[in-house]
Amino acid sequence: MTLRIATYNINSIRIRLPILKRIVKEAKPDILCLQETKVEDALFPVEEIKKLGFQYVYFTGQKSYNGVAILSRVPLYDVTSMNLVDSDHKRHISAKLKDGTEIHNFYMPAGGDIPDRLLNDKFDFKLRSFDALVEWSKAAHKKKKRMILLGDLNIAPLEHDVWSHKQLLNVVSHTPVETDLLNRLQKTLDWVDTSRHFVPHSEKLYSWWSYRNQDWQKSNRGRRLDHIWITPELLPSLKSSVILRETRGWESPSDHVPVITELEI
């Protein structure tokens, strides 16, 4: 069975229900993982989501900030969430497919504006969260699991994952300390970056464009912050990966766009 698995930082699910409906209609994901749902659990629009064809709807959220969800047309099992560091932030949710493959949906901290952990608590929180994620992945390595790690990781790791490598080296999301951390994470399980598996490192590739750009398409000052990774055991099942850039130009968009990977599970 081919599964279309998507990640999308929706930047408020209630505000962006119309664009979510269009994405579902046109892209037809089987499993859709959302970040920044920005809604407490009691107000999550479950019935509207089920009308889109997602029978299995799981979420953990909080008012106005953070929040993650997994929407699925196929049965999911063992749904859990965790905190990487001591925090009440809702930034992770996971579930298993019938064959035991684990899906881990993360919304990693953005890190604020100043890339100095001594001057910026948010940046320190981001680095501590990634240190914890590295340790979590190392522990998973011992169990040889089939895993999918996806979400808004808030780091653009490669030179051509940003519009200007040189100008963004001191900008949060592309600083050396952050990209080194993401590289460490990737090496723990030899994670396969599904987007870059199909697109050479020499080509520009983005999934986020700031709202501050008056003409995001013309300036094209993007960053690739959204990722879908798989463990090597799943590589033979990898069929395709695409970033839906066009959705950034739709009415009332998120500043992120969906990333979709197809796997033969």
pLDDT score at 145: 81
CATH for 2-264 (3.30.70.2740, 3.40.50.720, 3.40.50.920, 3.60.10.10) = 3.60.10.10
Separation of alpha carbons 23 and 116, rounded Å: 37
- Report the Cα 1 to chain-centroid distance in Å: 23
Q: Please check whether residue 197 is in contact with residue 241, taking contact to mean a CB–CB distance below 8 angstroms.
A: yes
Percentage of the chain modeled with pLDDT above 90:
96
Amino acid sitting at position 201:
H
- Distance, in Å, from the CA atom of 119 to the CA atom of 122, rounded to the nearest integer, reads 9
How is the chain split into domains, by residue range? 2-264
The pLDDT tens digits for 163-190 are 999 999 999 999 999 999 999 999 999 9
Cβ-proximal residues to 246 (8 Å cutoff; 6+ apart), any chain: 257
The answer to whether residues 55 and 49 touch, using CB atoms and an 8 Å cutoff, is: no
Confidence band of 214 (pLDDT split at 50, 70, 90) = confident
pLDDT at 141: 75
**pLDDT tens column, 134-157:** 999 999 877 778 999 999 999 999
For residue 179, give the nearest of 191, 161, 193, 194 by alpha carbon: 161
Residue 128: HSE in the Cβ half-sphere, 13 Å Cα cutoff: 14
Sign of CA dihedral 191, 226, 122, 94: negative
**Mean pLDDT value across the chain:** 97
Q: By C-alpha distance, which of 35, 80, 86 is closest to 62?
A: 35
Helices (H), 46-172: 46-51, 121-141, 165-168
| Residue closest to 196 by CA, chosen among 263, 251, 116, 261 | 261
110 close to 66: Cβ distance less than 8 angstroms: no
CA gap 243, 151 in Å, rounded: 13
User: Per residue in 104-139, pLDDT tens?
Assistant: 999 999 999 999 999 999 999 999 999 999 999 999
Contact 69, 59 (CB under 8 A): yes
Q: For residue 240, give both structure tokens.
A: 């395709």
How far is Cα 227 from Cα 133, in angstroms, rounded to an integer? Answer: 15
